[in-house]
Amino acid sequence: MKNYIFLAFAILCESVATSFLKASEGFTKPLQTIIFVVFMSASFYLLTHAIKVIPIGIAYAIWSAVGIVLIALIGYFVYKQTLDLPAILGIALIVIGVIVINVFSKSASH
């Protein structure tokens, strides 16, 4: 279970890093760039602990799906970016895919 906690914190750090990647405006803002680097580094460090037990493909599928949802929400609330119906449906299909993997696949470690 602790490996999934590492993965959850890795995803949170990656989401923070990605929002600061946007805020860094092409690495032209030093503070935002430093925050991006620190959180992205922390994210990968935490991910290395998660994949000691969780298969990397499963961990990356979860990372991707949850990260996409979090970044879409950050984009909406922070950057006022909206998604159209096809984008929302696409994201929903990605999330459904990860749920299928975790509920039905023997590859996912629980």
pLDDT digits (tens, 9 = 90+) for 31-54: 999 999 999 999 999 999 999 999
As a whole number, mean pLDDT of residues 44-70 equals 95
Residue 35 near residue 18, CB atoms below 8 Å: no
Question: What confidence score (pLDDT) does residue 105 get?
Answer: 84
Give the other-Cβ count within 10 Å of 54's Cβ.
22
Write the DSSP symbol of residue 46. Answer: H
Are the C-beta atoms of 17 and 43 separated by less than 8 Å?
A: yes
pLDDT average, residue stretch 4-31: 97
pTM exceeds 0.75 for this model: yes
C-alpha distances in Å from residue 2, one per residue of 9, 42, 62, 73, 95: 11, 16, 15, 26, 22
Residue appearing with tokens 């750090």:
13
